[in-house]
Homo-oligomer: A and B are copies of this chain.
């Protein structure tokens, strides 16, 4: 399982992280993770899983799986397919790709069957408790209004981080909690850990940075 504390990078569908650019970022993370010993994972587009999984040692995550079985589901993301492509984990229910509750349950159950780890995203303490009741390995709480913004959730709303950690533990002590939204530097990461989180989930802070290596090194310093 993804070692904690950890830094998980979701590269979304940014141009700066599509195709060979996704691979470049994965390689930088691979280098820094090896150098520093800090646990890191990267969630890439479905089209880029094969490319990245062959080239690096850090875990490759899918950004999403659909609640489907093998068969007649043209154009949907088959859990078995992301595994075959080399993903060892997946985001589920990201704020940009919300799922129905019953489908979160189906996706998580399928991921467990396949031996793929799941990070289920949530938006507040109430939905974090609900997700904790489903017993995923990880959940990542991200207040939607702070995603892509300039202020880290750890500064803008530290109570949601500590509150989520506490609330989740009352439901299921085995669920690890990441936090995200606006996370950009090592200080934010350190703050997240202080608030009780097991790591961070971030995106634009790295993907949009000119010097990605420097930003990733700084993030690693926070752990």
Q: Which residue of B lies closest to A96 (CB)?
A: B74
Interface residues as binary, A41-74 with B (CB distance below 8 Å gives 1, 0 otherwise): 0010111111100000000001110001011111
Inter-chain contact B84/A96, CB cutoff 8 Å:
no
Q: Which residue of B lies closest to A44 (CB)?
A: B81
Q: How far is the CB of A178 from chain B (nearest CB, A)?
A: 15
A contact residues, total (Cβ < 8 Å) = 66
Q: Compute how far the CA of A163 lies from the CA of B100 in the bound complex, rounded to whole angstroms.
A: 22
Interface residues as binary, A92-136 with B (CB distance below 8 Å gives 1, 0 otherwise): 011111111111110001000000000000111011011111110
Q: Name the contact of A97 in the complex, choosing from B18, B75, B99, B171 (C-beta under 8 A).
A: B75
Q: Compute how far the CA of A47 lies from the CA of B64 in the bound complex, rounded to whole angstroms.
A: 12
Q: Compute how far the CA of A81 lies from the CA of B36 in the bound complex, rounded to whole angstroms.
A: 31
